[in-house]
Chains A and B, each alone.
Chain A
């Protein structure tokens, strides 16, 4: 038994739908448990339910834009100073233990900015006072308390501060050792730090020195010899990435950047939950109206288009979960809007079909012609939408265009919507029509 091409394609669509449903549906539907499959692709664990990522405006939380004051930093050092700042602030944010927090750097003209997103933070005041501090770096001597018995190792119990601080450090850089090309981090001290460091190393040969950032040790190299040249190298079994990370942290102390809040938004979580509920109701009603209209106006064809529309919804949500698309409220609006647009190509085709029938063609011919001939306008019309979608999404991060998260969220759902609706509107509906649709046979064939 052989299968026709539409049958094969429809079968593939059916399989795709099953996979999508598995991803989209919650693991527990009422009393019914959907068995989970045990396999992984990359970071995606299919044995668990994949969550829809919710934006800050839905989950609630704190969004802050910080402006970094770079007036004391030399132009060439500014980019690395911003990276260091991101590192420092990222670590402070981690102290809050908020999941999925985000720290992003943004350059706008001559302004260096950090955008923080802290979902679920309920005390923004406290968070801001901690985050907004300028990084403090100091050199200190670790204090070890000997163990109770001789066999117990000594434990680190505290630090004795020294007079050497981050302000004495010129900068840190990744270097490579001349002998074995292994990565290391070089420190260059300012004039003010040269003597302090020389004295510190002289007094502590063979002992470790701790470098503290915001009170936490980031590295504890052991002094090999007295260094009076004002430049030192920290060696160790670093990978290049580790050396880089350490230099970024050290630079946070060497290139301290004061920050000011230029925008802040506290969003209570209840607002989002309420909006979601309303959006779902609105979406359900809108969808039923569209389906009702399609069936009332186009009959059987409209019914098949409605199946395509439901599949559109399923496929879209699947992609949202897989990519993942962070769903904000404007993003949801974009998705609902795209549902209304998804039947566009169907309508163009169906109207064309009616015309071809009126022109006296047999329904089979009319159907194929309609899909072929409607394609030109479908293609041009959707390209126009993609153009504006891309301007809103700003994929190359151009600083003269918008970079706001909510606008991008909307644009992304719009662009995805167009591609998926072309698939469901053209490929899926066409094959379903070929298989299940039977028009009236035209008697007056030309």
Chain B
């Protein structure tokens, strides 16, 4: 681990802009978290502004307007009210029609955030406990979970930037992706730690740091190959899959890549750092 500082520097290079963006802009929550409505109108003849004007009490935001229709995001509104407004618009837009309609009460949104936080905490604690038990030392658990947080921050940071510059929203599926990435991150880390465990049984006289070095070199190929097959699938899904799961695939893709990087270049170096500061047990 001669290049520990380089690895941490590389991580910082990715993480710091992400954290900055998270602190400055936050993420763009979807109506699943904030509550509100989203609906799509087709056969719209009037300019978008006229349509928005008719919903002005509900703070409408134009999301998209193309051949497929006009999508508006607004405060919570009932389908009945939308329909009434459409009837008024019928004079200028005789064929205007509501196709997609989605509404979520604000209470439900808050609840979803709470449940998400619960799930993240429970997952972290359980994974910490499981890895500590499986490897019989707390440091493995802690370092693996730290590497996992590293990946989570990279993912959240990327979506904060995506949200700020391209209006990508964070929804319930994104949360699912984050939780999935927790396990992927740990999945790769375990492969490296497992090799450290095996080597330390075999070579009792080698010092811990060179043990870690050896383990990292030996597992590099498989960590990479393991993730490559997943990356192939995710890349195909992101580029060619349906709209609904497009950003879900992207979140998983970003998470898988950072998870692969972090298992070798964060989780293992963290063990070295731990060893340096908290005594040297083999």
Contact = CB atoms under 8 A, between A and B. Distances in A.
Interface of A: 57, 65, 67, 108-109, 111, 124-125, 128, 261-268, 271, 274-276, 278-279, 281-283, 285-287, 289-290, 293-294, 297, 329-330, 332-333, 336-337, 339-341, 343-344, 347-348, 351, 355, 373, 376-377, 380-385, 387-389, 391-392, 400-402, 404, 406-407, 410-411, 414
A383 B173 contact: no
A344 to B, nearest CB: 5
Interface string B109-149: 00110111011001100110011001000000000000000
Contacts of B6: none
A333 B245 contact: yes
B226 interface: yes
B244 A329 contact: yes
Contacts of B239: 282
Interface of B: 78-80, 83, 99-105, 107-108, 111-112, 114-116, 118-119, 122-123, 126-127, 130-131, 134, 172-173, 175-176, 179-180, 182-184, 186-188, 190-191, 194-195, 198, 218, 221-222, 225-226, 228-237, 239-245, 248-249, 252
B98 to A, nearest CB: 8
B228 A267 contact: no
A65 B112 CA distance: 14
B229 A283 contact: no
Given A267-B100, A351-B222, A278 B240 contact: yes
Contacts of A329: 242, 244-245
Given A264-B103, A283-B236, A402-B119, A381 B241 contact: no
A275 B180 contact: no
Contacts of B118: 400-401
A279 B242 contact: yes
Contact of B101 (A108, A265, A274, A278): A265
A57 B243 CA distance: 12
Given A57-B244, A125-B80, A271-B243, 14 more contacts: A67-B105, A268-B99, A275-B245, A279-B242, A285-B236, A286-B235, A332-B245, A376-B194, A381-B191, A383-B134, A384-B130, A388-B179, A392-B119, A392-B176
Given A286-B236, A388-B127, A340 B230 contact: yes
Given A275-B242, A275-B245, A377-B194, A293 B78 contact: no
A95 B86 CA distance: 28
A435 to B, nearest CB: 24
A278 to B, nearest CB: 4
B127 A124 contact: no
Minimum-distance CB pairs A-B, first 6: A275-B242, A340-B233, A286-B236, A262-B105, A377-B194, A340-B230
B79 A381 contact: no
7 contacts: A65-B108, A128-B79, A282-B237, A283-B233, A286-B232, A330-B245, A341-B230
Given A339-B233, A355-B218, A384 B131 contact: yes
Nearest to A277: B242
Nearest to B103: A264
Given A289-B232, A391-B123, A410-B176, A384 B183 contact: yes
A125 B79 contact: yes
Nearest to A332: B245
Nearest to B232: A289
Prevailing SS type, chain A contact patch: helix
B229 A290 contact: yes
A125 B183 contact: no
A286 B237 contact: yes
Given A384-B186, A410-B176, A337 B233 contact: yes
Interface centre among B112, B179, B198, B245 (most CB of A within 10 A): B245
Most buried by B among A128, A264, A274, A373: A264
Contact of B108 (A263, A278, A351): A263
A351 B221 CA distance: 8
A111 B195 CA distance: 50
Contacts of A382: 187
Contacts of B190: 377, 380-381, 384
A277 to B, nearest CB: 8
A221 B245 CA distance: 55
Contact of A282 (B83, B126, B240): B240
B104 A377 contact: no
B236 A124 contact: no
Contact of A344 (B123, B127, B195, B226): B226
Given A344-B229, A377-B190, A407-B172, A387 B183 contact: yes
A271 B244 contact: yes
B182 to A, nearest CB: 5
A336 B191 CA distance: 23
B241 A108 contact: no
A348 B191 contact: yes
Given A333-B249, A340-B234, A266 B180 contact: no
Given A268-B100, A340-B232, A384-B190, A377 B182 contact: no
B279 to A, nearest CB: 25
Contact of A384 (B105, B112, B187): B187
